[in-house]
Chain A
Amino acid sequence: MKMGDIRYLTKEGIKNTWANRLMTLASIGVLVACMVVIGLAVLISENGNKALGDLEKQNVVIAYMKDYSWALYGRETDDTKTSDSKAEEAKTNDTSTKQETDDAKETDDAAATETPDENGIKQSDYYIHNDEEAKELCRQIEKIDNVKKVEFISSAEGLKTVTEKMFKEEEQYFSFLNDDNPLPCAAKITMNSMEKFDATIRKIENMQEIDIVRSQADSAKKIVAIKNGVQVAGMWMVSILLLISLVIVSNTIRITMYSRKLEISIMKAVGATNAFVRLPFVVEGVTIGLISALISEGLLYFCYRVVTEKISNIIGTTVIPFSEMALTLLGIFAAIGIVSGILGSSIMISKYLRKEGSEFAAI
């Protein structure tokens, strides 16, 4: 086919898009809806990846200590863990000496004679009795392999960090906590290598004086789960929407073809090749696809800006700026538009191209 033919047929295709503007509009509407949903799935997935990457970069964990607050507020809920660890400890310490057993007996005897305070807590019910003991524990943690730095956080400092993140009204509401701080003291631990992350956490958790270690791993797992869910659901959704796009474009082209069956029959009678008959319809399909891609890009930009501004204000999280994703999304949309345009029109026109002369009148 000559360049002149291509120019002529492209012009015809664009003219047809305008001539069938109602159907074109309907197709663009459905295609835009499909593309926006696809774009949203891509943006959610990419933001999930980013959040995960950010969390992975944070090699800091907080280890909470078994101090008076723990004995008062957290011990009962932690019974399972304590008894489990005790059982584990008992298992691993099968070879303990008789002397150690005797020492424990003496401690138990002392605890039995000790008088509980007004909250019913005895000194022997918890392990960290003052800041000195807490700091000593920090020094012990520092000796563990892969631990780079340990910073002691007192209960008061912990509470201050929490209240700083609150709105003014919330801060005022929780002001009673200043007199009755429920937070246990903690150690902020920085690690050398993320590869030994889990092993280091286990070692810290096995220490008798440590209640629980909070790392971002939990959040990371949740984000991975959400991201995987979005990816699987997104793939299904994208596949279904692509199929819908194909059907929509095919349908528009079918209607165009129906309205142009006279033209097609004349084309064939005067010796038009199949490619010559097909090209204007393909151009029409691709034009619809590309217009839809541009509208979807604009619409998604607007929605994303509004939604991300709100999210950033509420949870203070940073999201990927749209400009970073704009070209990728436009590429995806254009690809969907072009593929559905070419496939949709080709499928439909192939049926018509097999027809001859008077058969067109019967369509």
Chain B
Amino acid sequence: MSENVAETNSALTNEVPVIEFKGVSKRYANGTHALEDVNIRINKGEFVFVVGSSGAGKSTFMKLIMREEKANTGTIKVNGFNLTKMRRKQVPMLRRTMGIVFQDFRLIPKMTVFDNVAFAMHVVGAPNRRIRKEVTNALSAVGLGDKARSMPNELSGGEQQRVGIARALVNNPALIIADEPTGNVDPNMSYDIVSMLTAINKMGTTVLMVTHDHQLVREFKQRVIMLDSGKIVADNTAGGDEE
């Protein structure tokens, strides 16, 4: 399975977009227009902030990328998968090409830090020996090599989020999606987390981060996509926050 991920990653070139939306609209059953005619292209190796107020369509945008939701119109391509034509059975294969960092960390409280990270590798069927090696490397990369045996409740919010980043990173994905990863941590730790994601991005992994923190957006000077009422109102490829 990890071989598949590696193949998918190697197949991605700078010319091939990692994420491509063409005329995408999403309307929910209750009549809410979450996204309207969204066109966007994110290439391999980019770091993109997605900003917007509550109800702007950020969550729907992420759900469409992860194929938790299906678009009503338009086409979506992610990591070489055409999500519009994708069957339910293929969804796990798509998700193995991406790592997800959640705002609320989503660590399993009864598992150690090591097991929480290893869990993501077990799911993709990695052999035990590889799991031991990769998990140790991922934890060292996020500066938690000495906390492998700790339980999540023994860690600070920032440390827990770093475990979440290690879990997202451990399968060597082509794309990391971070859904407000700094939402539950203090400002100093927020800076560290975005720095860490920037470092991962510099190694070639595409990073898409949803945030409300304009200070961070201004500081890190990356591409910013701004959503408002389901439409892209700004796409600043030069970096920096427009507000």
Q: Which residues of A contact B (CB under 8 A)?
A: 1-2, 4-5, 8, 19, 262-263, 265-274, 276, 356-358
Q: Known contacts A2-B125, A356-B68, A357-B68; is A271 also within 8 Å of B119 by CB?
A: no
Listed from nearest, the 7 A-B pairs whose CB atoms lie closest are: A271-B96, A271-B95, A356-B68, A272-B123, A271-B92, A270-B120, A357-B68
How far, in angstroms, from A7 to B68 measured CA to CA in the complex?
A: 29
Contact across chains for A266 and B125 when beta carbons are under 8 A apart: no
B199 to chain A, nearest CB (A): 21
- CB <8 Å contact, A5 and B125: yes
Taking a contact as CB atoms under 8 Å apart, the answer to whether A268 and B95 are in contact is yes
Measured CB to CB, the closest approach of chain A to B28, in angstroms, equals 13
B85-106 at interface with A (beta carbon < 8 Å): 89, 92-96, 99-100, 106
| A272 CA / B125 CA spacing, docked (Å) | 9
Residues of chain B contacted by A272 (CB below 8 angstroms): 92, 123-124
Chain A, residue nearest B59 (CB): A358
With contact pairs A269-B66, A270-B171 given, residues A8 and B122 touching in the complex (Cβ less than 8 Å): yes
B100 partner, pick from A269, A273, A276, beta carbons under 8 A: A269
Q: How far is the CA of A1 from the CA of B89 in the complex (A)?
A: 14
Chain A residues contacting B124 (CB-CB under 8 Å) are 270-272
Residues of chain B within 8 A (CB-CB) of A268 are: 92, 95
B127 at interface (Cβ–Cβ under 8 A)? yes
Q: How far is the CA of A1 from the CA of B125 in the complex (A)?
A: 8
| In the bound complex, CA of A138 to CA of B187 (Å) | 114
How many B residues, CB 8 Å from partner?
26
Mark contacts of B37-81 with chain A using CB atoms, 8 A cut-off: 1 yes-contact digit, 0 otherwise: 000000000000000000000010001001011000000000000
The docked-state distance in angstroms from the alpha carbon of A357 to that of B120 is: 15
B11 CB–A CB distance under 8 Å: no
Nearest-neighbor residue (CB-CB) of A277 within chain B: B123
Interface flags for B103-119 (1: CB within 8 Å of A; 0: not) read: 00010101000000001
Cβ of B83 to closest chain A Cβ, rounded Å: 13
Please indicate the chain B residues that have their CB under 8 angstroms from the CB of A274 in the complex.
92
Write out the residue numbers on chain A whose beta carbons fall within 8 Å of the beta carbon of B66: 269, 357
B138 to chain A, nearest CB (A): 13
Q: What residues on B are CB-neighbors of A266 within 8 Å?
A: 106, 108, 119-120
Measured in the bound complex, the distance between the Cα atoms of B92 and A276 in whole Å is: 11
Q: A8-B122, A263-B108, A357-B66 in contact; A269/B128 too (CB < 8 A)?
A: no
> How distant is B120 from chain A, measured CB to nearest CB, in Å?
4
Contact B95–A269 (Cβ < 8 Å):
yes
Verify B106–A262 contact, CB threshold 8 A.
yes
Nearest-neighbour CB distance to chain B for A17, whole angstroms, equals 15
Cα-based distance from A271 to B125 in the complex (angstroms):
10
A262 to B120, CA, bound (A): 13
Contact indicator A265/B106 (Cβ below 8 Å): yes
The answer to whether B63 and A357 touch across the interface, beta carbons within 8 angstroms, is: yes
Residue of B nearest to A7 (CB): B128
Residue in B94, B96, B122, B127 whose Cβ sees the most chain A Cβ within 10 Å: B122
Task: For A356, list chain B residues within 8 Å (CB).
Answer: 63, 68-69
When distances are taken between beta carbons in the complex, the residues of chain B under 8 Å from A267 are 119, 123
Nearest neighbor of A4 in chain B, beta-carbon distance: B127
CB-based contact B125/A4 at 8 Å: yes
16 cross-chain CB contacts under 8 A: A2-B125, A4-B127, A5-B122, A8-B122, A263-B108, A266-B106, A267-B119, A268-B92, A269-B100, A270-B124, A271-B94, A271-B124, A273-B89, A357-B63, A357-B68, A358-B63
